[in-house]
A and B are shown apart, each in its own frame.
Chain A
Amino acid sequence: MIAGLAGGGRGTAARRRPLPKAQLEKVGIGVTGACVVLVIVLVATLIVMVCGQGLATFTVDGVDPWAFLTGTVWNPHASAADGQPLMGALPMIFGSFAVTLLSCAIALPVALCLAIFMVELAPEIGRTYFQPVVELLVGIPSVVYGLVGLEVVVTWTRSWAGGTGYGIFSASIVLAVMILPTITSLTVDALAAVPDAWRNGSYALGCTKWQTIRSVVVRSAIPGILTALVLGMARAFGEALAVQMVIGNAAQIPASLFELAATLTSILTLGIGNEASGTVYANALWSLALVLLVMSLAFILIVHLIGKKEEVTDG
């Protein structure tokens, strides 16, 4: 570019220019941008393809979406009197929501206690011992949780509740342990983000530690805790193998927590590989996958809304 810039008293160094800087920068943006574009294309393809397959039930096989979502009989191989295939997804949708809510109800209080212990009561022990433990819990493969659930939780449930031991109850216990680290670590972040000055303000008013935790720390961390909860729910809703191993996989709405049930993921796990693509049953399974996808996207949306609301209240 400007010849004058390089002239003058300069030139102590012998310069060779492999690639002009401006061009190098373009290469940098180009290479990294290409990575990003590839990721976007992958995600877009995923959503479009799963949606496309999932909608075939309604567009190709002509099933009424409302009947699909609310029907209680799942037997796509057979047809009802009106010639429509029997594909009511309600048992699976119910099962997924039931295990999600129940496991969160179990995990949230425990996670909250753990997080309070780690941030407020014993920060030193929390950092050195609990942090690695929580990270380790995240790392344990879900099939291992499923296996332990099968051998311990199901057996234990059978011993006092009778029946097979499989069902929503066992699945919720296993899921609660699985999502505990997710909720705990996000709650820890939320509690740690509360400024110390607020705690000191509360102590200065003569409040006890517990009063401070309850009415200052936890209260101001509620948006963060909610985010933790929703992400935990998303994980529980989408978990497949561990649930499939302990829930029993009967596509029915169970009368109690101890009867065989099924979730979207468990039926998908079992069915998808056994069906030739294009059949009515395969299409119905993809519709279940579509419901799963839509719910996952809904969880992301909720997290976004919580974040946005927090931004508005903050500033």
Chain B
Amino acid sequence: MNASSSAVLGAPATSAPASALLATRDLTVSYGAKEALHPTSLSFRKGEVTAFIGPSGCGKSTLLRCLNLMNREVVGCTMGGRILYRGRDILAPDVNVYELRTSIGMVFQQPTPFRLSIAANVAFGPRHHGLAASREADLVERALRRAALWDEVKDDLKKSALALSGGQQQRLCIARALAMEPEVLLLDEPCSALDPISTFAIEETIRDIAASGVCVIIVTHNMEQAGRVSDRCAFFYLGTMVESGPTLELFNAPRTQRLSDYLTGRFG
């Protein structure tokens, strides 16, 4: 796994394209009068895995939920600054959030399978965005293969998704997001509810998805996981992005005292 990840890591880190696929510029988030995320500027590229790390309540999930505008659904939440996707500010009022979310998929902390069959879960998004029924089977198979779930469920596609194990449910949710063929995949602590074996399977899936050219952003409070899975890292503390850079650099030579303390386990 390390071999494959360094191969992916090597390319974009050295020859980063001039313009990132997704970027934040002085992005702020407030709940009511309280600023939960102070101005943050980050860039995310295709084929890379970026990890947001930091203690709980540090703003990493808040930032992640901005990137597909899920924060729009929270009453009292306001966003400032800019989020550039393909060079366009998606915080502009005329942006179609529904279309945006088809390009920027998201997977949550708890597995969220719908009370439907496995196939219907995977086809759920495309179906509601106008997919022709004849193409459904191909699409379901492709998405399940990408999420490394196909071999386990190919004979049970009509079964209820709720009958799957926790790890399988989470991979089903990843497949459901991938069925939309997103360019960006957001993962909000996807393994925190899972056992180590399922976690390992999902980490491997994440690497493969990134290798296929998707820009993956993962929130985690597990340092080892960030080290295993990510190419770049951003460290948050109390709503501020303290430090960011290639994961290896950040972990081996933290530039700030805070990150160094966090890595050595003095808080967190």
Taking CB atoms and an 8 Å cut-off, the chain B residues in 83-97 that contact chain A are 85-88, 94-96
Question: Contact partner of A6 among B85, B99, B135, CB < 8 A?
Answer: B99
A interface residues, how many (CB within 8 angstroms): 20
Of residues 6 through 57 on chain A, the ones whose CB sits less than 8 Å from some CB of chain B are 6, 8-18, 20-22, 25
- Inter-chain contact A9/B96, CB cutoff 8 Å: no
Chain B positions within 8 Å of A22 at CB level:
96, 98
**Interface status of B100 (Cβ within 8 A of chain A):** yes
Q: Does the CB pair B88–A4 fall under 8 Å? A: yes
Bound: A10/B103 CA distance, A: 8
CB distance from B141 to the nearest CB of A (A): 12
Residues on A close to B: CB < 8 A? Answer: 1-2, 4-6, 8-18, 20-22, 25
B80 touches A (CB below 8 Å): no
Docked complex Cα distance between A53 and B62 (Å): 56
Known: A10-B183, A12-B181, A13-B139. A5 touches B100 (CB 8 A): yes
Residues of A within 8 A of B95 (CB): 1-2
**Cβ-based interface call for B75 (8 A):** no
The answer, among B98, B99, B135, B183, for a CB contact under 8 Å with A13, is B135
Would you call B129 an interface residue if the criterion is a C-beta within 8 Å of the partner chain's C-beta atoms?
A: yes
State whether A5 touches B130 (Cβ < 8 A). Answer: no
**Cβ contacts under 8 Å, B54 to chain A:** none
CA distance A8 to B96 in the complex (A): 17
How many Å lie between the Cα of A171 and that of B96 in the bound state?
Answer: 63
In B111-162, the 8 Å CB interface with A consists of 126, 129-132, 135, 139, 142
- Is B268 located at the chain interface by the 8 A CB criterion? no
Chain A residues near B103: list those with CB within 8 A.
5-6, 10
Q: Beyond A15-B130, A16-B130, A17-B130, is A9–B99 a contact (Cβ under 8 Å)?
A: no
A5-B99, A14-B132 are known; give 7 further A-B pairs, CB within 8 A.
A1-B99, A2-B86, A5-B96, A6-B103, A14-B135, A15-B130, A17-B130
User: Do the beta carbons of A1 and B96 come within 8 Å of each other?
Assistant: yes
Contact indicator B129/A9 (Cβ below 8 Å): no
Residues of chain B contacted by A13 (CB below 8 angstroms): 126, 129-132, 135, 139, 181
Q: How far is the CA of A240 from the CA of B183 in the complex (A)?
A: 65
B57 at the interface (CB under 8 A from A): no
Contact (Cβ within 8 A) A2 B130: no
- A6: chain B residues at CB < 8 Å are 99, 103
B196 is an interface residue with CB less than 8 A from chain A: no
Most B Cβ at <10 Å: residue of A12, A16, A18, A25: A12
Chain B residues bordering chain A, tally (CB within 8 A) = 22
- The answer, among B94, B98, B139, B213, for a CB contact under 8 Å with A12, is B139
- Nearest Cβ distance between residue A24 and chain B, in whole angstroms? 9
CA distance A12 to B135 in the complex (A): 9
Q: How far apart sit A5 and B99, CA to CA, in the bound complex (Å)?
A: 8
Cα-based distance from A4 to B103 in the complex (angstroms):
11
CB of B98 within 8 A of CB of A5, answer no
Q: How distant is A144 from chain B, measured CB to nearest CB, in Å?
A: 39
Alpha-carbon separation in the docked complex, A12 to B181 (Å): 8
Asked if residues B181 and A2 are in contact (CB atoms below 8 Å), the reply is no
B181 cross-chain contacts in A, Cβ below 8 A = 9-13
A residues near B132, Cβ cutoff 8 Å: 13-14, 16
Which of A1, A15, A22 has the most C-beta atoms of chain B within 10 angstroms of its own C-beta? A1
Measured between beta carbons, the chain B residues less than 8 angstroms from A15 are 129-131
Bound complex: CA of A5 vs CA of B129, how far in Å?
A: 14
Given the complex of chains A and B, what is the CA–CA distance between A22 and B95 in angstroms? 10
Cα A6 to Cα B100 in complex, Å, equals 8
Q: Which residues of A contact B100 (CB under 8 A)?
A: 5
| Cα–Cα, bound, A14→B135 (Å) | 8
CA distance A5 to B94 in the complex (A): 13
Interchain nearest-CB distance for B86 vs A (Å): 5
Partner of B96, one of A10, A12, A14, A21: A21
Residues in B whose Cβ lies below 8 Å from that of A1: 94-96, 99
Report the minimal beta-carbon distance from A227 to chain B, rounded to whole angstroms: 26
Q: With both chains docked as a complex, state the minimum distance between the C-beta of A5 and any C-beta of chain B, in angstroms.
A: 6
**Known contacts being A1-B96, A5-B100, is A18 close to B130, with CB within 8 Å?**
yes
Shortest beta-carbon distance from A270 to chain B in Å: 50
Query: For window 148-192 of chain B, which residues contact chain A by CB distance below 8 Å?
Result: 181, 183
Most chain B Cβ neighbours within 10 Å, of A2, A14, A20, A22: A2
Q: Which of A9, A17, A25 has the most CB of B within 10 A?
A: A9
Separation of A12 and B131 alpha carbons in the complex (Å): 9
Give A16's nearest chain B residue, CB to CB: B130
What 1/0 flags go to B216-250 for Cβ under 8 Å of A? Answer: 00000000000000000000000000000000000
Nearest CB to that of A15 among chain B residues?
B130
A25 to B72, CA, bound (A): 14
In the complex, which residue of chain B has the Cβ closest to the Cβ of A17?
Answer: B130
Q: Are A2 and B88 in contact, CB atoms less than 8 angstroms apart? A: yes
B130 with A4: CB separation less than 8 A: no
Residue contact A9 to B131, C-beta cutoff 8 Å: no
Q: Cα distance A12–B100 when bound, in Å?
A: 16
